Amino acid sequence: MYQVAVYGKGGIGKSTMSANISVSLAEKGLKVMQVGCDPKHDSTRLLLGGRPQTTVLEYVRNVPVGRRRLEDVIETGTSGVLCTEAGGPEPGIGCAGRGILTTFDTLKKLGADKLDTDVRIYDVLGDVVCGGFAVPLRGEYADGIVLVTSGEFMAMYAANNIMKGLANFDTGEPRLIGIILNSRGVEGEEELVRRFAKAAGTEVIAVIPRHRLFSEAEANGHTVREMYPDSEVSVAVDSIAQRIIDVRDGRCRAVSPTPLDDDQMSDLAAGREIRPGNGSAIRTRNGCTGCGRRTSIKDVPIMHSCATYGAVAAYLKIEDVAVVLHGPLSCVYMMDTARAKSVLELFSRGIYKSRPNHNLFCTRMDDSVSIFGGTRLLEDTLRDVVSHGYRDVAVVTTCMPGIIGDDCRTVVDRISMENPSVNIDLVEADGDIAGEYNDGFMMAMDHIVQMIDSDVPKEEGLVNIIATSFFDVHTREHAEGLTRMLSRFGLRENCRLVDETTSESIRGFCRASFDMMLNDTANCRELAAKVKERTGREPFPVPIPVGLYDYEEWITLMGESMGMEDRAAEEIRCIEEEYAAFVSEHAPRFAGKRVIIINKLTHNVDWLIDILKDLGADIVRVGFSPSPRKAGCEPVSRHMDMIVRDYDTDRLNEDMVALDPDLLISDLVKPVSGKCRLARFSKIGVGATPVLEYAEYLENIMRLPQDAGWKEGRKV
């Protein structure tokens, strides 16, 4: 079977040409099938007596998979031409290009490829050759391409773009049969189009005159070729059909065009001589040429997780908020599974009081929704969620509604008006269109902080903890350490923004007297700024401390704020004595040891630098190597003079040789050799004591032998 794609600007007459060519081919004894690929679905109308037929997309939308039959979407028209129409979504909804893909896939599954046909004609919209409308250009669909144009500039511009699109689907064989000039009566039209064709390396294979026979035939629901077979128009159409047959049979060849560049198109429009182009012809490829153009994966920023997941993760930290994921079921499965795994682990440790909630709903968008739009699914899902009694709902969009342009705002506003007691947030993260995980998380937090009621009266003895991640205190010991620190001043937690919490807790955020950042990271500072913008409250000047010196500063400021200076001074005296005793006992093991510290996540590691210096270690390098998710974040440290930014593995390899360290402390998996030992970063908790425990861990690491003699039963 020989396949021909007829392309042209919308309204240029390609459907009329396609139908006439199909009849001509059929009259020459060929078995012909015509596939209309224009959302207007009027390609086959003249082959069916002026009657429209059921489109494939309409059929897909209304008929379940198990009940679909090929004969329901294919009709026999004039001269036995088989007719089918792709159709398209409602104007302004969904993706018509995606509809072409679905049409081709459906026809294939229903057995269209097994039909007894000699030629298949694809009638395709060509104003913009997007991914969907470009499908017929692919080698498995189009053996030959025919372009329909007039002498109007935009029609030739569209034809030129189609030639550029053809380059992206180069099969290695010439496929452009030629250009049909469908005359509009413009002065000098034929000469202009022939100049265009010559400059592009092709030719005008037929000139169709502007003739009343077209309107007369169409008024009767027929083609000119059928009603007036001996007319001038029919003679021209027959020449096109014969050209297609000749190319198919090898009596003449198609060409590989050279699309005009912008300067050449300007020359054409201005009537000037067309200057030489840049030589961007479609060239035959011998083997793969793409590999040589690829860059190393090191040059490509990797997105570990999308903005949608970040927004979903933020909302799922609130136990009684329903999250509606507007997207496919696969997305909700991966997101819910990843979260449930981590929360179950914390539940098993006794950190979380309850198992993970599953307040995550999905609109279950599928391939058909990408064509017809998914707003109806979103509306139905929201009504269902509201009927379950949820009073706080978050809608988070995935890639699919962002790409097809679903009007989610209108749906959310309509459901909100119907249910005034229900608060519905809309976060249009659109998968990775809005960015990566942290971007989506912060988009969600913009809405979540609006839940805070700034008029709630304060209650003494309450404190809020602010952080995007609470893994610093996600062991029983760490959580108890935070509780002990606060209780020394008669404080207890009011709200964790945002961790295992409820909407009521967030609304009562302003009951607390203090808002404290859990750690000093870029994300935590950004979240604290959002809280300040909402409430006007300044966060406590020192985050929850880690290490002796931050602890002393925090204790001093807290004592002053609470009028408990004596208690703060006593606490500082006790911890300094404990710290000094520890340093005296353990310094001999660390004295003179050369240490490299690599921090990939831009945490504040002053506590580590401080304890190592106090123990007498020689810190020869502190490298900050931000991960892609932390790109652009600036390190925060008292020891900025020691920090090397943008530290990568190549630099580390050099330093491992040049600096000859005894200990590498890193959150990277890095093999070491010789005398060097590898220690991993860990979440050590808060306060001064956990730092001492981590130093003991480092000491034990340095005691370990480098070889694996224990595996062989040797004494080590």
Asked whether the predicted pLDDT for residue 398 surpasses 90, the reply is: yes
Alpha-carbon dihedral angle through residues 467, 468, 471, 475, given to the nearest 10 degrees = 50
Q: Is residue 434 part of a domain?
A: yes
328-350 pLDDT tens trace? 988 888 887 766 555 555 555 55
Residues 61 and 136 in one domain: yes
Q: Is residue 291 part of a domain?
A: no
Q: Containing H/E element for 345?
A: helix 329-348
Q: Is residue 714 part of a domain?
A: no
Mean of pLDDT values over 255-283: 82
Domain boundary among 396, 424, 451: 451
Asked whether the predicted pLDDT for residue 304 surpasses 70, the reply is: no
Q: Which of 334, 598, 308, 341 is nearest to 443 (CA)?
A: 308
Catalytic hit among 9, 317, 593, 630: 9
Residues 432 and 467 in one domain: no
Q: Is residue 179 part of a domain?
A: yes
Q: What is the pLDDT of residue 667?
A: 74
Residues 159, 126 contacting (CB under 8 angstroms): yes
| Tokens matching residue 207 | 């000139």
Residues 68 and 107 in one domain: yes
- Measure CA of the first residue to CA of the last residue in the chain; give whole Å: 77
Q: Is residue 114 part of a domain?
A: yes
Mean of pLDDT values over 88-92: 75
Q: Which of 646, 697, 652 is nearest to 670 (CA)?
A: 652
Residues 397 and 474 in one domain: no
Q: CA angle at residue 400 from 395 to 405, to 5 degrees?
A: 85
Q: Which of 23, 27, 7, 25 is nearest to 243 (CA)?
A: 25
Give the integer Cα–Cα distance in Å for 146 and 122: 10
Q: Is residue 475 part of a domain?
A: yes
Give the integer Cα–Cα distance in Å for 304 and 431: 12
421-451 pLDDT tens trace? 999 999 999 988 888 888 999 999 999 999 9
Residues 131, 140 contacting (CB under 8 angstroms): no
Q: Is residue 295 part of a domain?
A: no
Q: CA angle at residue 612 from 607 to 614, to 5 degrees?
A: 95
Q: How does the average pLDDT of the chain come out, rounded?
A: 87
Beta bridge partners of 495: 464
Domains: count for the chain? 4
Q: Is-catalytic flag, 380?
A: no
702-715 pLDDT tens trace? 987 655 443 444 33
Residues 506, 318 contacting (CB under 8 angstroms): yes
| Tokens matching residue 20 | 């006439």
Catalytic hit among 14, 317, 593, 630: 14
Residues 225 and 319 in one domain: no
Q: What is the pLDDT of residue 627?
A: 55
Q: CA angle at residue 53 from 52 to 55, to 5 degrees?
A: 120
Q: Which residues of 432-449 are buried (b: 16+ CB within 10 A; e: fewer)?
A: bebbbbbbbbbbbbebbb
Lowest mean pLDDT among 97-111, 356-370, 490-504, 515-529: 356-370
147-158 pLDDT tens trace? 999 999 999 999
Q: What is the pLDDT of residue 292?
A: 37
Residues 70 and 157 in one domain: yes
Mean of pLDDT values over 482-488: 91
Residues 479 and 612 in one domain: no
Mean of pLDDT values over 462-473: 87
Give the integer Cα–Cα distance in Å for 145 and 136: 9
| Tokens matching residue 527 | 């979240």
Using CB atoms within 10 A of its CB, is residue 512 exposed (0-12), middle (13-18) or buried (19+)?
Answer: buried
CATH code of 529's domain: 3.40.50.1980
Catalytic hit among 31, 40, 530, 670: 40
Q: Which residues of 265-289 are buried (b: 16+ CB within 10 A; e: fewer)?
A: bebbeeeeebeebeeebbeeeeeee
Its domain, for residue 528, covers 462-544
Residues 596, 652 contacting (CB under 8 angstroms): yes
Domain boundary among 248, 270, 292: 270
Q: Is residue 348 part of a domain?
A: yes
Residues 83 and 231 in one domain: yes
CATH code of 245's domain: 3.40.50.300
Residues 382 and 433 in one domain: yes
Question: Which amino acid, 285?
Answer: R
Asked whether the predicted pLDDT for residue 601 surpasses 90, the reply is: no
Q: What is the pLDDT of residue 287?
A: 40
Residues 200 and 157 in one domain: yes
DSSP conformation letters of 151-179: SSHHHHHHHHHHHHHHHTT--SS--EEEE
Q: Is-catalytic flag, 14?
A: yes
Q: What is the pLDDT of residue 285?
A: 41
Residues 443 and 466 in one domain: no
Give the integer Cα–Cα distance in Å for 47 and 606: 79
| Torsion sign over Cα 226, 232, 235, 239 | negative
Lowest mean pLDDT among 41-50, 162-171, 558-567: 162-171
| Tokens matching residue 449 | 């902080």
Catalytic hit among 123, 127, 143, 520: 127
The predicted model scores a pTM of 0.73
Residues 437 and 535 in one domain: no
Residues 248, 144 contacting (CB under 8 angstroms): yes
Domain boundary among 394, 422, 451: 451
Q: What is the pLDDT of residue 40?
A: 84
Q: Prior bond to 498 cis, omega within 30? A: yes
